[in-house]
Structures are given as C-alpha cells and as structure tokens.
C-alpha cells in the first residue's frame, strides 16, 4: 500500500504544469505577398505572451489597457525573433498594430514589409525559444492565394519559399501527419485515458475493438469541430475530458471477474468528448479553408499513428508482465487504475477552479 501511494504521488507530480494548463504551444505567421508589399500577421497564445512579458497570468493579456501598456514591448519581441528576407537580404518591417483575440486566447501583431523581388523568400522564426515544444505554423499567400504551409520548431527555425511556386499535397500531408503525432504524444490526458482502457488487458480482438471505438468516436467530433459545425466551449470540454479519465480509473477498480466488458462503449462515448479536445488544437492552428481538407486528414492520421504506437507499447508491456506473474499483473492493473483516477482528479480540479479549461 505504501508503494501504491508513493507511485500515485510520483506519477501525478510528474505531469508537467504546462500540460495541466493544456494550451497548445503554437504560434502562427501569415505572410501575404502582394505587388505593393507584404502584410504579415503574427498570432501568439496568451500563455506564451504572458510568460515572456512576465505578466502575472495570461488573463492580463486581455486587460483593456494591455495594448497601450505592452503593445510596443510585444512588437519589439516579435521583430527580434522573426526575420523575413528576400534573396538573402533581410527586409525591414513597419509595425502596424497589436490586437487582442479573446476567442482564440491569443494576441496578434501585424507588420508591413516592402515589396519582395521575385525569387526566394526566407522566413526565420523562433518566437518562444524558452519552450522546446513550441511550434510556429507559417502560411504564405500570394495575392490572397495560399501557396505554402510550413511548421517551424526548435530544431528547424527557418523555411524557404520560391515565389510563384505552389506546395504539393504530399508536402502538406507530411507536415501535418508529424504535427498530429506530436500532439498526441504531448497530450497526457488523451494518452492516460487510452492507457486506462487497456489496463485490464484482454485478447487482441478485445483491445482492437476498444481502440477502434475510440478512433471512430474522436474522428467524428474532430471533423465536426474543425469544420466549425459543432464548437462546444473548451471550458466544458477540458473538465469533461478529466472526468472521463476519472471514470475509467474508477470503473477499472470496480470491475469484478466474469462481469461484462463495457470498455468499447466507454471508448465510444468518451471518445466523442476527446475528439473536441483534439479539435481545439487543430482549430487554434488557424488553418485556411483552402488547406483544411488535406490538413485535417493528415493531422487525424498523425494522431492515429501516435495512438497505435502507444497501444502497441502498453499492450506488449502488460502481456509481458502477465506471462511472468498473474499476481503482479493484477497489482499493476490496480495501481495503474488508481494513478489514472488520481491524475484525472488533479486535472479536473485545475481546469474547473484554476484554469477554467482554457485551451
């Protein structure tokens, strides 16, 4: 019992604070190339802005006097961390304005650049270098038409675009599949829900049914939400995801030998809620309508690939334990279920009373 308590505490405390807050570590740079010059929009999450401006909380970003007090400081930060060059020569930016975007929990800085000569355009962005998980989604338009998308991160801070060219569908798929894999891997609540469903083990067919149910359910709501057909508030969805994790952990503890296996129905039911959680990340990417189809498909595919990797790893580990000791297998399932329920409870309290489910 002492081991169980210690194991629970360690696992809960090991969850990163940022993951509990659940803001997606993303920024967005839209570059619109026209004959008269380039209009650039930089959208940043309030969480990141508050951190780098040393504000007490991200809610301060939405104070009425934020732009007046911090607009210049934020613009200088963007100018220092974003560089746009044409044919190897850096272009000088003229700040336009700073605006708050409460609906996206974000703030936007707009810049104006002189006309870029035909040739090669380079964009270098390291907007929040203190966060190794931070990504910057870059959309390049030419005369209002989307021609290229790219994802910059700590390992790749720059991209190159040949003006007058378009990006292949394969390149879009490749980038957003990787983005989907990364976001399931840094989403501990979704992972823990899935692990909770697998803890009691079962035949390969049973586990396949569970995973398939979860996949079908969250794919439906991910698509509906990403298309803005159904858009429930994150203030409801994030606590609901935490409650689903609590439910799975407790249900595992109450199951008796020989009782009916209802995990497929649990996966289907709560998978619908988790789909809205995935969609909040995809929606925050601000994907252009012209790119939504392949981007949505690719992101969802990436989520599934990451999910399958997790399932294979967990199922293999549980099978290995069961082959060596049935007693140990039972203890692992019990301890794991307690950890799942405890972590869900921590997330629920944080999202309801401290964070308000802000995504």
Q: What is the mean pLDDT of residues 121-142?
A: 90
Can you say how many angstroms the Cα of residue 40 is from the centroid of all Cα atoms in its chain? 24
pLDDT-wise least confident of 7-21, 158-172, 210-224: 7-21
* Cα-Cα-Cα-Cα dihedral sign, residues 248, 280, 63, 95: positive
Output the pLDDT for position 249. 92
Output the pLDDT for position 234. 74
pLDDT tens-digit series, residues 27-50: 999 999 988 889 999 999 999 999
pLDDT tens-digit series, residues 308-348: 888 888 888 888 888 888 888 889 989 999 999 999 999 89
The position carrying tokens 């870029």 is: 116
The DSSP output letter for 355 is S
Give bridge partners of residue 39 from the DSSP assignment: 32, 112
Output the pLDDT for position 168. 59
H or E segment and range at residue 332 = helix 326-349
- % of the chain with per-residue pLDDT over 90: 30
Q: Which of 250, 268, 272, 255 is nearest to 202 (CA)?
A: 255
Output the pLDDT for position 15. 44
Q: Report the residue count for the chain.
A: 359
Output the pLDDT for position 2. 44
Q: What is the mean pLDDT of residues 40-65?
A: 93
Cα 8 to Cα 2, 12, 21, 339: the distances in Å are 10, 6, 20, 5
Q: Please indicate whether residue 281 or residue 74 has the higher confidence score (pLDDT).
A: 74
- Average of per-residue pLDDT values in the chain: 81
Q: What is the mean pLDDT of residues 12-33?
A: 63
Q: Residue 216 burial by CB count (10 A; 0-12/13-18/19+): exposed, middle or buried? A: middle
Output the pLDDT for position 178. 80
Output the pLDDT for position 66. 94
Confidence of residue 169 (pLDDT cuts 50, 70, 90): low
- pLDDT tops 90 at residue 238: no
Output the pLDDT for position 21. 44
- pLDDT tops 60 at residue 7: no
- pLDDT tops 50 at residue 244: yes
């Amino acid at each position: 019992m002492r081991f169980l308590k210690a194991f629970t505490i360690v696992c809960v405390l090991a969850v990163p604070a940022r993951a509990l807050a659940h803001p997606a570590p993303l920024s967005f740079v839209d570059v619109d190339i026209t004959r008269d010059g380039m209009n650039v929009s930089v959208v940043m999450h309030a969480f990141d802005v508050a951190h780098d401006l040393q504000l007490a909380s991200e809610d301060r970003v939405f104070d009425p006097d934020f732009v007046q007090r911090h607009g210049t400081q934020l613009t200088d930060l963007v100018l220092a961390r974003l560089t746009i060059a044409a044919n190897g020569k850096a272009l000088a930016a003229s700040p336009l304005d700073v605006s708050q975007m409460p609906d996206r929990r974000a703030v936007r800085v707009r810049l104006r650049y002189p006309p870029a000569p035909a040739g090669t355009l380079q964009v270098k962005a390291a907007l929040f270098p203190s966060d190794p998980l931070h990504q910057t989604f870059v959309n390049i338009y030419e005369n209002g038409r989307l021609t290229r998308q790219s994802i910059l991160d700590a390992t790749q801070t720059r991209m190159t675009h040949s003006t007058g060219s378009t990006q292949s569908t394969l390149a879009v798929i490749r980038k957003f599949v990787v983005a989907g894999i990364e976001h399931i891997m840094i989403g501990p609540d979704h992972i823990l829900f899935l692990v909770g469903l697998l803890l009691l083990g079962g035949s390969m067919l049973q586990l396949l049914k569970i995973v398939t149910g979860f996949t079908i359910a969250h794919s439906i709501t991910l698509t509906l939400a990403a298309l803005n057909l159904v858009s429930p508030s994150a203030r409801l969805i994030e606590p609901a995801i935490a409650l689903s994790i609590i439910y799975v952990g407790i249900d595992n503890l109450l199951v008796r030998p020989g009782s009916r296996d209802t995990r497929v129905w649990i996966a289907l039911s709560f998978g619908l809620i988790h789909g809205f959680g995935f969609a909040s990340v995809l929606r925050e990417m601000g994907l252009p309508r012209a790119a939504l189809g392949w981007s949505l498909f690719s992101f969802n595919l990436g989520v599934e690939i990451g999910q399958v990797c997790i399932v294979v790893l967990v199922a293999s580990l549980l099978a290995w334990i069961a082959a060596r000791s049935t007693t140990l297998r039972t203890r692992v399932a019990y301890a794991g279920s307690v950890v799942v329920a405890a972590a869900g409870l921590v997330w629920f309290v944080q999202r309801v009373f401290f964070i308000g489910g802000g995504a």
